Chain A
Amino acid sequence: MSTASNLEKVLKGGNFAVTSECGPPRGADAEVVKKKGSLLAGYVDAVNVTDNQTSVVRMSSFSASLILKTMGLDPVMQMVCRDRNRIAIQSDVLGASALGINNILCLSGDHQKFGDHPTAKNVFDIDSMQLIQCIRQMVDDGKFLSGEEIKGKPALFVGCAENPFADPFEIRAMRLAKKVKAGAQFVQTQCIFNVEKFGKWMEMVRDLGVHEKVYILAGITPMKSVGMAKYMKNSVPGMDVPDDLIKRMQDTPKEKQAEEGIRICLETIEKVRAIKGVSGIHIMAIEWEQRVPEIVKSAGLYPRPQP
């Protein structure tokens, strides 16, 4: 084991991993993070902490990760390239490792146009691929991007994201192969609603032999309502929500849509578990963390391996 990461331990132990997500609040109230953390504690192996997702200013991923860490959870600190140059990135990597954060997820980051400060200047000094390389170089070789030696090298389990549903589809498996070549140890995918397409992507991933080199966690998002399903389909770039799922939600009475959403989510988990090369699931229950425990239990994934 190269780090103290629980997620790494679970995956390397051959267990089917379960991770979830905690979006930090738009304020300085630590209680909000603690509350979300307590809902997830014991039901997941690690918790992603988003980094100003959709470019909306929130409590930093670093700080919220620390709050979760003090509660005994294993945070996956997400880091985007939108807001930091290579100097700030490497500095935060050192700090995160020094304070006991064990996992990091490398992302390019949503464009600021979608957020609450669309007139901001973006950075994108390096991209997600180069971020993976940069962190692995720091962790494995004990060297900064500049090539200079790090005194006291960081220890981190390095992950990435990939969207099997974005275009061009034919290079999406190759793109994961590139990220793995760059040094990604685990990948969490975009939310899967189109299981058939995900299956095709996994087939392409297997053809490249990539599933043997990286732990693939399938992204799962329960839908609360038909409104959310339609929003995901029409307004979130790179999201693939098939029409029959929308119809299924639409045909369900409003007061029962949340339950139907959970049912769809459980069916999706069952289907992706059966796909060769899937090592776990990543449940993104957006502002719906309270439903994660029952999803994990109903999916037969509880109890979790003991840390």
Chain B
Amino acid sequence: MIIANRKPFEEIIGMLKPYSRILLLGCNECVTVCAVGGAKEVAVLASEIKLFRAKEGSPVEIKEVTLERNCDPEYVETLKPFMDDCDVVMSMACGCGIQFVGEHYRNRVVLPAVNTTFDGVTEEHGVWAERCQGCGNCVLDRTLGICPVTRCAKSIFNGPCGGSQGGVCEVNKDTPCAWQLIVDRYKEMDMLERYLEIQPVKDWSTSRDGGPRKRIREDLKI
């Protein structure tokens, strides 16, 4: 799922300064699961903004809407009736949703209320961590399910570097060293000899480096 963080309130308030009628948009998908941009968080942010602006003497009207998905035209089109009654859209969806709504309603500015951060998992209640960078050329077979691109701070394919100590990455003591995890996994599966294989230079053209990516399934097009 896509993980995001809410932007600092001062930044949100700063972006909204010129506007008084706001459509505050949430999403029922990833940002609801990671507790940053679902209906609940939309309601909380709406109250905070209203309270702050009322105190400032410049009250605002806020319409709260949470779509099933912000990355799908079917749902984004249902926003049409709300557009005439707002000066601006502020979205608590991920970066994909924010852009997609903007593409559909070109006469409205769509502001981000969250910083979209990574593709990850819920490690435990309230803890999310990155797992995939969508490099387009998966190597998880070679590293037994631990991604060196994502989980090593240097994305090295023949680690660990000299900064791995006590199983921890030198960049952050709360981050496990990806290559320690990989070596542990090789051992667990009795495959340590695989460590001796030199991983070849990676083709990054399938990653962001090749430019924005698109996938087309002709058979599914209408």
Contacts and interface: CB of A to CB of B under 8 A. Distances in A.
Do they bind each other? yes
Given A166-B164, A167-B177, A238-B163, A86 B170 contact: no
B150 interface: no
Interface string B145-169: 0000000011111111111111100
Interface in B155-209: 155-167, 170-171, 177, 180, 183-184, 192, 195-196, 198-202, 204
A82 B198 contact: no
Interface of B: 153-167, 170-171, 177, 180, 183-184, 192, 195-196, 198-202, 204
B161 A86 contact: no
**Interchain residue pairs A-B with the least CB separation, the first 7:** A163-B162, A129-B158, A237-B170, A127-B156, A237-B163, A238-B162, A166-B162
Nearest to A133: B198
Contacts of B201: 86, 126, 130, 133-134, 145
B157 A130 contact: yes
A127 B160 contact: no
Given A134-B201, A167-B177, A127 B163 contact: no
A174 B195 contact: yes
Given A178-B158, A237-B165, A111 B153 contact: yes
A122 B155 CA distance: 10
B interface secondary structure, majority = loop
A167 B196 contact: no
Contacts of B157: 127, 129-130
A166 B160 contact: yes
B131 to A, nearest CB: 19
Interface of A: 81-82, 86, 108-111, 113-114, 122, 124-130, 133-134, 145, 161-163, 166-168, 170-171, 174-175, 177-178, 181-182, 190, 237-238
Nearest to A189: B162
A127 B198 CA distance: 11
Given A86-B201, A177-B196, A167 B158 contact: no
Contacts of B170: 111, 114, 237-238
A181 B166 CA distance: 27
A167 B198 contact: no
A93 B170 CA distance: 29
Nearest to A129: B158
Contacts of B199: 129-130
A166 B154 contact: no
Contacts of A111: 153-154, 163, 170-171
A129 B198 contact: yes
Contacts of B156: 108, 124, 127-128
Contacts of B192: 171
A167 B154 contact: no
A171 B154 contact: no
Contact of A128 (B158, B183, B204): B158
Contacts of A110: 163
A110 B211 CA distance: 28
A236 to B, nearest CB: 9
A124 B154 contact: yes
A146 to B, nearest CB: 10
A134 B200 CA distance: 10
Contacts of A163: 162
A124 B159 CA distance: 12
